[in-house]
Amino acid sequence: MKTYHTPVKEIERKWFVVDAENKVLGRLASEIATRLRGKHKPNFSTHMDVGDFIVVVNAEKVKLTGNKLDDKIYYRHSGWIGGLTEMTAKEVLAKKPTELLKMAVKGMLSKNTLGRAQLKKLKIYTGTEHPHAAQKPEMLEI
């Protein structure tokens, strides 16, 4: 039996809207990463991008369990000596609320060109408004 590979022209990509209000960050990010990769589809293939577009609204209202808001630390390095910068999850949420969810999803995708292409299909917004009404996105309950 031969393995079936979906031709690029036949890949169907849908648009989904996810409301992140009162959702736990890690559980939400893992479901979004699964949808971006396309693992929920029967024509999933590890080397192809067959996933859907995900629009996340209310990203600033995402929850973290336990003491992670104060204890979880995100590190960044500038490349220079002594250039290590650290921020707690509370500081990241206050400064750039969309980055918290983006970093969580990015860590769950492949670390190559395919993962970067899949991450581009993720659109994150604060508040309930988004500019993707023309694509007629469906609500996705997670």
pLDDT at 28 over 90: yes
Average confidence (pLDDT) over 44-49: 92
% of the chain at pLDDT higher than 90: 93
Domain residue extents for the chain? 14-64+98-130
* One CATH from 3.90.1180.10, 3.40.50.300, 3.90.79.10, 3.90.1150.10 for 14-64+98-130: 3.90.1180.10
Q: Residues 6-31: what's their mean pLDDT? A: 96
Contact status, residue 56 vs residue 101, Cβ threshold 8 Å: yes
CA distance 25 to 101: 7
pLDDT, mean of residues 29-51: 95
Of 36-40, 43-47, 100-104, 134-138, which range is least confident?
Answer: 43-47
Q: What confidence tens digit (pLDDT) does each residue in 73-116 have?
A: 999 999 999 999 999 999 999 999 999 999 999 999 999 999 99
* Tokens representing residue 41 in the block: 């589809």
Calculate the CA dihedral of residues 57, 59, 61, 66 and round it to 10 degrees.
140
Determine the pLDDT at residue 72: 97
The rounded percent of the chain whose pLDDT value lies above 70 is 100
30 pLDDT more than 80:
yes
10 contact partners, CB below 8 Å, separation of at least 6: none
Contacts of 78 (CB under 8 A, 6+ apart): 85
- pLDDT value at residue 2: 82
pLDDT at position 1 = 76
CA–CA–CA angle 24, 125, 141 (5° rounding): 45
What would the two tokens of residue 83 be? 């250039």
pTM for the model: 0.94
**Residues facing residue 124 across a β-bridge:** 56
Chain center to CA of 129: 18
pLDDT tens for 56-76 read 999 999 999 999 999 999 999
